């Protein structure tokens, strides 16, 4: 019957109209600045540099290897290598970036820098309110603005961070074990040398002891 | 001759001239609309409410749209042309002759000799209706019949014809 | 003219006539040579102020209403509850650059928005917005309304043709085809009212409906032919004003914005304004013809001023238009034409016959019941038959989508 469907549709929209006043769950939109949807964990927007501990200079993981700079498709990363070295998280002396700049306006949030970084030094941030009234300086982020502590990373990407942390802890353990082994080997060597020396001593006769 | 009449008459005549002399067909059509509207306004100014509004409704609302639609559906709007100079002279002569005949007919008709001081009837629309359905009912019906015939003719013209092959097939079967 | 109104006392009457009194007072207190000017201004200025104001209100109401229908909030940032949104929109439209395409026909392109707005305003001259509140008293007021209203088609053509854009031209073609088709049922459905009321003057048509049996009014919508006529009229009105679901000429998703695609800034705003003004005007005419104009819906409610009733009814009509827009999808061109010529036109003719039967059946207790039954049958039977006929051979079913990966 002509018009039946129209009446049905009118009832449906009326139900939606009235329902939106009664039932807040119906409303699909949120009032953005005041209320926000929680971002999904995989959300990403712009990279940042990770550091361990409290000091962004000393704890910075980046070793200035330039891989991200070379891989970056829009070439928004600029790195200058330091001349001196500082110990990294396992204690190995490494270069560190004297300058590390990313141009926010050029970055396309592709996450390739994160994928290629062998040092877990660069990760994606969820922060998306990046607008500024200074379109040159305000959008060129330097090392200071990019550095964020590991705790922040654990907060925004808990699963990923746990995995990275576990891997790094393992690395540290390995390094320690290696160091211990090395130390042990060294000690053993030293001991062996000492032994050998002793044996030598013994083998050589009693002259030295005599002497 | 009031100011309003002079203004309206000037606009109407100017629009009519423009409708003949504009190079672009669409502009001519639009100028013709202005002429129609001016004519309707003159009727209104003369107190012929029904005729004036009917003029607007039929000519501005329907005839002009029809012209415009015809222009839209053809390629006429793209062609711009000047009226040929060769036909200008004969055209003027014919136009003047037609005007003279019409003017003579109007001036010598019975209508022109009716005294205009007679008060116009108060409810003209109603009177027109009554007249149409009493005294002039036969012409009205004839016009109605004619329009119906035209309508049916238009429908038949627009009827989708069966493809020739199908008709052939139907005949042989 | 109606008993309860005079019973309600002098105060109600004075409030009801307050604008008329003010008008007379203002004219009487201006010096003689300027009186004609004041008289005209007092008619024109209120129309120029009230209806664009209503337009501003309607834009925000529409956006909020549609939002709620779609389970959104709608605009709520500018001012309390977003009520100042039209101010922001207006400022935006005013500050935008006025672009005219290089190949456009400059003069016609410039004139089109003016013509459409002027005609949209002109039709308000004959709308009775309250008791004794009609701007111009014309014996053929309805004829005036339709004569002026038909000029909008030309403005649409001017806009579409002069823009030199295929979308504009397509939009204009669609608009003109649609307007011509729906003007027929629109005017035919008013003829039923004219036949019963016996006049072409809108204020007299309202007066014919402004009486009561008991407490119930004699509105034409409460008769079989009136109800059918009202639905036909409002459907045709929606199509005349390019209102959803008949918004093919502007179909944003197909031809961007149809004939207004090449207009920007304030000219665009003028088209928008004209469109809404036409909706108000044609709704106002629908109210005048079928819903008793400014008369109160129940006799004891006549205490409330007549102009409040008119605008209250107008708001109801506008809200219904918004509701329908939020509900129905856009028609296809062939559906549109089929609906106009195969359903609306026959129904309008049937409605005229029904009104004639209603007019000439005798009165009396038994006959008034019989008249109702006969007229209902006259309207309902063709409706069912037409609906069935249009449905014939068409199966309505869920569309099945086929995707590439299914092979």
Domain edges within chain A: 46-157
Q: For the ranges A11-25, B26-40, C23-37, which has the lowest average pLDDT? A: C23-37
- pLDDT value at residue B122: 59
Q: What is the mean pLDDT of chain C?
A: 83
Give the span between the Cα atoms of C262 and C159, in whole angstroms.
Answer: 9
Residue B57 with chain C: CB contacts under 8 Å: 143, 146-147, 150
Smallest CA–CA separation between B29 and chain C, in Å? 10
Q: What is the mean pLDDT of chain B?
A: 79
State mean pLDDT over C80-108. 84
CB within 8 Å: B68 and C138: no
Cα C309 from chain centroid? 16
Are the beta carbons of C348 and C184 closer than 8 angstroms?
yes
Do A and C have ≥3 inter-chain CB pairs under 8 A? yes
Residue of C nearest to A12 (CA): C327
pLDDT over 90 (residue B149): yes
**C118 touches B at CB < 8 Å:** no
- pLDDT value at residue A26: 83
- pLDDT value at residue C3: 42
Q: What is the mean pLDDT of chain A?
A: 83
pLDDT over 70 (residue C6): no
Q: For the ranges B32-36, C340-344, C398-402, which has the lowest average pLDDT? A: C398-402
State mean pLDDT over C139-152. 85
Please state which of the four CATH numbers 3.40.50.1970, 3.30.590.10, 3.20.20.70, 3.30.70.3270 is assigned to the domain occupying A46-157: 3.30.70.3270
State mean pLDDT over C353-365. 81
CB within 8 Å: C383 and A9: no
CB within 8 Å: B26 and C173: no
User: Where exactly are the structural domains of chain C?
Assistant: 97-389
Using 50, 70 and 90 to split pLDDT, how confident is the model at B96? very high
State mean pLDDT over B152-169. 73
Phi, psi of B23 (to 5 degrees): -70, -30
Give the span between the Cα atoms of B120 and B122, in whole angstroms.
Answer: 6
- For A8, A16, A26, A87, the CA distances from A20, given in Å and listed in that order, are 18, 6, 6, 60
More confident residue, C96 or C214: C96
Question: From chain B, which residues contact C within 8 Å (Cβ)?
Answer: 26-27, 30, 33, 37, 40, 49-50, 53-54, 56-57, 60-62, 64-65, 68-69, 72, 77, 123-126
What is the SS3 assignment for A50?
strand
Residue of B nearest to C144 (CA): B53
Q: Is the alpha carbon torsion for C82, C87, C88, C90 positive or negative?
A: positive
List, in sequence order, every residue forming a beta bridge with A101; answer none if it has no partner. A78
Residue of C327, C384, C390 with shortest CB distance to A9: C327
- pLDDT value at residue C315: 92
Q: What percent of chain B has pLDDT over 70?
A: 78
Residue of C nearest to A11 (CA): C327
Give the span between the Cα atoms of C156 and A39, in whole angstroms.
Answer: 48
- Whole-structure pTM value: 0.77
Residue C387 with chain A: CB contacts under 8 Å: 1-3
State mean pLDDT over B105-133. 73
* Cβ pairs B/C, distance under 8 A: 69
**C148 touches B at CB < 8 Å:** yes
pLDDT over 50 (residue C368): yes
- pLDDT value at residue B166: 56
* Cβ pairs A/C, distance under 8 A: 45
CB within 8 Å: B123 and C139: yes
Residue B53 with chain C: CB contacts under 8 Å: 140, 143-144, 147
Question: From chain A, which residues contact C within 8 Å (Cβ)?
Answer: 1-3, 6, 9-10, 12-14, 16-17, 19-21, 26-29, 31
pLDDT over 80 (residue A199): no
pLDDT over 60 (residue C7): no
State mean pLDDT over C241-249. 82
Q: Which of A86-100, B145-159, C148-162 has the highest mean pLDDT?
A: B145-159
pLDDT over 80 (residue C66): yes
More confident residue, C271 or B120: C271
Residue C205 with chain B: CB contacts under 8 Å: none
Q: How much is the ipTM here?
A: 0.73
Which chains does A contact via 3+ CB–CB distances below 8 A?
C
Tens-digit pLDDT profile for residues A90-135:
778 888 888 889 888 888 988 899 999 888 888 888 888 888 888 8
- pLDDT value at residue B173: 45
Do A and B have ≥3 inter-chain CB pairs under 8 A? no
Residue B56 with chain C: CB contacts under 8 Å: 147-148, 150-151
Residue C143 with chain B: CB contacts under 8 Å: 50, 53-54, 57, 125
CB within 8 Å: C71 and A9: no
Residue of C108, C140, C180 with shortest CB distance to B30: C108
Question: Does a cis peptide bond (omega within 30 degrees of 0) precede residue C295?
Answer: no
Using 50, 70 and 90 to split pLDDT, how confident is the model at B142? very high
The number of beta carbons lying within 10 Å of the beta carbon of residue C95 is 9
Residue of A nearest to C68 (CA): A17
Residue of C nearest to A16 (CA): C69
More confident residue, C407 or C369: C369
Q: Which of A84-98, C15-29, C274-288 has the highest mean pLDDT?
A: C274-288
SS (H, E, C) chain C: CCHHHHHCCHHHHHHHCHHHHHHHHHHHCCCHHHHHHHHHHHHHHHHHHHHHHHHHHHHHHHHHHHHHHCCCCCCCCCCHHHCCHHHHHHHHHHHCCCCCCCCCCHHHHHHHHHHHHHHHHHHHHHCECCCCCECCCCCCHHHHHHHHHCHHHHHHHHHHHHCCCHHHHHHHHHHHHHHHHHHHHHHHHHHHHHHHHCCCCHHHHHHHHCCEECCEECCHHHCHHHHHHHHHHHHHHHHHCCCCCCCHHHCHHHHCCHHHCCCCHHHHHHHHHHHHHHHHHHHHHHHHHHCCCCCCCCHHHHHCCHHHHHHHHHHHHHHHHHHHHHHCCCCCHHHHHHHHHHHHHHHHHHHHHHHHHHHHCCCCHHHHHHHHHHHHHHHHHHHHHHHHHHHCCCCCCCCCCCCHHHC
Smallest CA–CA separation between A45 and chain C, in Å? 27
Phi, psi of C154 (to 5 degrees): -65, -40
């Amino acid at each position: 019957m002509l018009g039946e469907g129209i009446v049905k549709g009118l009832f449906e929209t009326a139900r939606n109209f009235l329902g939106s006043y009664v039932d807040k769950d119906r409303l699909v939109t949120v009032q953005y600045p005041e209320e926000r949807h929680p971002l999904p964990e995989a959300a990403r927007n712009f990279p940042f540099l990770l550091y361990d501990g409290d000091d962004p200079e000393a704890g910075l993981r980046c070793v200035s290897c330039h891989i991200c700079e070379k891989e970056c498709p829009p070439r928004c990363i600029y790195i200058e290598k330091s001349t001196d070295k500082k110990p990294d998280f396992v204690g190995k002396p490494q270069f560190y970036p004297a300058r590390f700049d990313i141009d926010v306006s050029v970055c396309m949030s592709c996450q390739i820098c994160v994928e290629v970084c062998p040092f877990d030094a660069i990760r994606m941030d969820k922060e998306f309110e990046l607008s500024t009234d200074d379109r040159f300086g305000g959008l060129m982020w330097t090392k200071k603005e990019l550095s964020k502590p590991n705790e922040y990373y654990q907060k925004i990407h808990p699963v990923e961070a746990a995995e990275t942390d576990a891997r790094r802890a393992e690395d540290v353990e390995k390094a320690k074990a290696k160091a211990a082994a090395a130390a042990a080997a060294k000690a053993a060597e030293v001991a062996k040398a000492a032994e050998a020396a002793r044996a030598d001593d013994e083998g050589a006769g009693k002259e030295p002891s005599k002497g | 001759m009031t100011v309003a009449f002079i203004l309206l008459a000037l606009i109407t005549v100017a629009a009519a001239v423009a409708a003949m002399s504009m190079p672009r067909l669409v502009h001519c059509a639009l100028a013709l609309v202005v002429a129609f509207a001016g004519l309707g306004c003159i009727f209104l100014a003369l107190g012929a409410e029904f005729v004036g509004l009917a003029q607007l409704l039929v000519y501005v609302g329907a005839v002009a749209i029809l012209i415009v639609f015809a222009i839209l559906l053809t390629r006429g709007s793209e062609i711009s042309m000047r009226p040929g100079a060769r036909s200008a002279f004969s055209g003027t002569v014919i136009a003047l002759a037609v005007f003279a005949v019409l003017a003579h007919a109007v001036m010598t008709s019975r209508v022109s000799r009716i005294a205009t001081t007679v008060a116009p009837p108060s409810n003209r629309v109603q009177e027109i209706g009554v007249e149409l359905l009493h005294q002039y009912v036969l012409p009205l019906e004839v016009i109605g019949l004619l329009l119906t015939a035209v309508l049916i003719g238009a429908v038949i013209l627009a009827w989708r014809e069966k493809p020739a092959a199908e008709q052939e097939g139907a005949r042989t079967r | 003219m109606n008993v309860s109104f005079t019973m309600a006392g002098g105060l109600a009457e004075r409030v009801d006539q307050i604008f008329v009194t003010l008008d007379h007072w203002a004219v009487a207190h201006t010096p003689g040579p300027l009186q004609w000017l004041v008289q005209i201004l007092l008619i024109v200025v209120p129309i120029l102020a009230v209806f664009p104001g209503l337009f501003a209100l309607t834009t925000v109401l529409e956006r909020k209403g549609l939002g709620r229908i779609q389970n959104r909030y709608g605009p709520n940032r500018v001012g309390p509850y977003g009520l100042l949104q039209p101010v922001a929109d207006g400022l935006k439209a005013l500050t935008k650059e006025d672009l005219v395409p290089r190949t456009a026909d400059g003069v016609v392109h410039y004139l089109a928005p003016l013509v459409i707005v002027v005609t949209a305003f002109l039709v308000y001259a004959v709308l009775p917005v309250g008791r004794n509140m009609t701007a111009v008293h014309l014996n053929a007021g309805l004829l005036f309304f339709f004569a002026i209203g038909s000029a909008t088609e030309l403005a649409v053509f001017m806009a579409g043709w002069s823009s030199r854009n295929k979308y504009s031209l397509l939009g204009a073609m669609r608009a003109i085809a649609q307007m011509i088709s729906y003007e027929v049922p629109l005017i035919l459905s008013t003829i039923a009212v004219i036949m019963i009321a016996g006049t072409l003057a809108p204020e007299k048509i309202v007066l014919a409906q402004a009486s009561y049996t008991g407490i119930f009014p004699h509105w034409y919508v409460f008769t079989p032919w009136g109800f059918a006529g009202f639905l036909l009229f409002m459907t045709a009105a929606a199509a005349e004003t390019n209102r959803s679901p008949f918004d093919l000429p502007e179909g944003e998703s197909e031809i961007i914005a149809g004939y207004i695609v090449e207009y920007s800034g304030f000219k665009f705003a003028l088209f928008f304004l004209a469109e809404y003004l036409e909706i108000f005007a044609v709704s106002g005419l629908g109210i005048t013809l079928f819903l008793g104009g400014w008369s109160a819906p129940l006799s004891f409610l006549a205490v409330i001023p007549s102009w409040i009733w008119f605008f209250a009814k107008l708001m109801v009509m506008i809200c219904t238009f918004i509701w329908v827009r939020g509900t129905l999808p856009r028609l296809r061109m062939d559906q549109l034409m089929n609906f106009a010529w195969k359903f609306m036109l026959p129904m309008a003719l049937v409605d005229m016959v029904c009104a004639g039967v209603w007019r000439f059946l005798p009165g009396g207790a038994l006959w008034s019941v019989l008249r109702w039954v006969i007229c209902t049958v006259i309207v309902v039977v063709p409706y069912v038959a037409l609906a069935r006929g249009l449905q014939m051979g068409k199966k309505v079913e869920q569309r099945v989508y086929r995707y590439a990966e299914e092979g």
